[in-house]
Amino acid sequence: MNSNSKKTNKDKQNNQNRPSKPNNDNNSDSFQIGKASKTSFIWLLILVSAVFLSNFFTNPNGEEVEVQYSQYKSFLNKGLISKAQIIDEVFHGELVQQQNIINRRGTSIDVKRFRLKLPFIDRDVMEEWDKNGVDYSFKQQTVDWTGYFLNLLPWVLILGFWIFLMRRMQGGGGGMKSIFNFGKSKAKIWTSDMPKVTFDDVAGCVEAKEELNEVVEFLKKPKSYQKLGAKIPRGVLLVGPPGTGKTLLARAVAGEANVAFFSLSGADFVEMFVGVGASRVRDLFEQGKQNQPCIIFIDELDAVGRQRGAGLGGGHDEREQTLNALLVEMDGFEQNEDIILMAATNRPDVLDTALLRPGRFDRQIIVDAPDLNGRLGILEVHTKKIVMNKKKVDLKAIAQGTPGMVGADLENIVNEAALLAARKKKKSVDMSDFEEAKDKVMMGVQRTSVVLSEEEKKITAYHEGGHTLVAAKTKGADPVHKVTIIPRGRALGVTMQLPMDEKHGYSREYINGRLAILMGGRAAEELIFNEMTTGAGNDIEQATGIARKMVCEWGMSDVVGPMTFGKKNEEVFLGREIQSQRDYSEEMAKIIDEEVVKIVRKAQVTAEKILKKNISKLHGIADALLEKETIDGEDVLAIVNGKKTSPSKNGSARRNAGSRTNKKN
């Protein structure tokens, strides 16, 4: 049983509403791969054809065999030579029919055409040819340009094929010069005459837009700042989780200021050749200076701006050289240059300190997950693009039911709702489509192919009932919104909770309640069936992780006290946490382990007490789940208060409390 109590502020992997780029290489990656494969096949076909034609035209009648003089005399005396051509005393003959001879190596071969160098040619020799009916002619040696060309053609095609591959490897454009343009910047350029994005297209980040308004005003009226001696921030770093709209904000700044916009990723600087990254940095800034005023935007800055150091791979690598070039170019800004450098990252902790000092990225803007009003604004922006039944859709209710979600999540829900409506052949998207889309995005697709046995179904029902009942009876816990035993994603059953309001910090009481809810599923199994299953593995894993953080990070242990343990050692070169530094003794490690066990067991005891005290209500929740498979928060409250449940409704919520997973050893 997998009790998923993670809050709804999970990081997502997509950015909010990234508009389509006018010059995004005109093709998707899959199309490019297909096109390259097709072109490669054509090149190969041409090469094979050239080799075939070369052999065919240079030797149209087959290969000539060099014979001995005695064999030549034998052919001549027997009248087997039909015609011949003499070129510079070399006799090229053709037999009437194919003959089998023994060559100089002593092997037997078939001969149709042959050649030999005659010692002399006089009137007697020619009379002998006439006597034996040989049709002969004389020809002077000439340069066979056709043969030379056909022999050279395969090598020309091989060279052309190699050039084609080099262009593909480097993403080259047209023309031969693209082979030598490795050091050119790969930035995509948006100009003022292209479709632009403004701050009206961005919702959910009011503070960030206010900070960026200053940049917009500088780009519009730079002289008003320069007259007063004010220095506008040359570098603006957008920091926030994935999907919050950092790239969209940068585009909006360019759209508001109506200036050129250079966009590329940090990974675009690094190629297979040494020095390419630094060269591309210099070329990028040179392009920016030629298109003033402008904005240069580097997405995923951590790909090239990680902290420098020896690390595992040495300190003189290509990435560091690229970073050094970037630092130098940022220092080279003149006061009269109308260039703003913007960058985005979700890993500011790994960036080199030299990048973050004043004069470079001297302003950091936090783009965090939106609040209720922000989510409502994002939904309003995205729903403009779909045909929606406004009378039946409550966007505020959707926003309230999606705490912690970022713009990319909300965009995905809107898109899924539209897809569901189209699949049902509706004329517009209504509330039921949004609710179903929320279920699909938050919990996963219903796995109708998974058929549970009656025993598994009953265990799952009591497991989810344990989560639900403990959550309903725990003070300060998030209310239960929906419970289901329908398999979704990797879970066989899910218990979902929604917080009443936005939470940014959690009390010790709240966390202990979460632990009790997590252990409620396992406690219900032991109470009802006197048995344990492997399905609670993820519940226990989460509970153990939370308990260890309480002891080692949050200082919520009475025995250990307000201290932190286990300093993480991040390897500079890799930029990843590959090991933890042991900054405490073996004795303290034992105490920490004992405290973690104590906290988790206390949570299970709490859950057991609640379930034993309300055993009839546990049976009621399980029976309702077995009957309806899905119940909502109103049904849970009705059962807890001893009332009848209402008919099943289609609801949705963020998975927050627990879920029974299909976990096997």
- DSSP secondary structure, 241-260, as one string: -TTSSHHHHHHHHHHHHT-E
Which tokens go with 361? 């990225």
CA distances in angstroms from 355 to 237, 300, 326, 329, 468, listed in the order given: 10, 14, 9, 11, 49
Instruction: Give the Cα separation of 288 and 297 in Å (integer).
Output: 11
Task: Report which secondary-structure segment, H or E, holds 518.
Answer: helix 508-529
* List of residues 6+ apart from 572 with CB closer than 8 A: 306, 307, 308, 309, 310, 311
- Kindly state the tokens that stand for 504: 């940014």
Specify the pairing of strand 480-484 against strand 108-117: unpaired
Q: Report the distance separating Cα 392 and Cα 395, nearest Å.
A: 10
Residue 256 bears catalytic tag: no
Name the amino acid, one letter, at 13.
Answer: Q
Catalytic position from the list 94, 256, 464, 608 = 464
Question: Taking Cα atoms as reference points, which of 156, 180, 154 lies closest to residue 166?
Answer: 180
Q: 608: which 2 tokens?
A: 């057991």
| CA angle 559–562–564, rounded 5-degree value | 105
Q: Say whether 444 sits in a helix, a strand or coil.
A: coil
Contacts of 600 (CB under 8 A, 6+ apart): 515, 519, 540, 543, 544, 547
Cis, peptide link before residue 293, omega less than 30° from 0: yes
**The two three-digit tokens of residue 264, written as one number:** 């590329």
Contact call for residues 17 and 201 (beta carbons, < 8 A): yes
Burial call 526-548: b when 16+ CB within 10 Å, e when fewer: bbbeeeebebbbbbbebbbebbb
List the one residue out of 268, 247, 255, 263 whose CA is nearest residue 345.
Answer: 247
> Residues for the chain: how many in total?
665
What is the distance between the alpha carbons of residues 252 and 200, in angstroms, rounded to a whole number? 8
Q: Which residues are catalytic?
A: 464
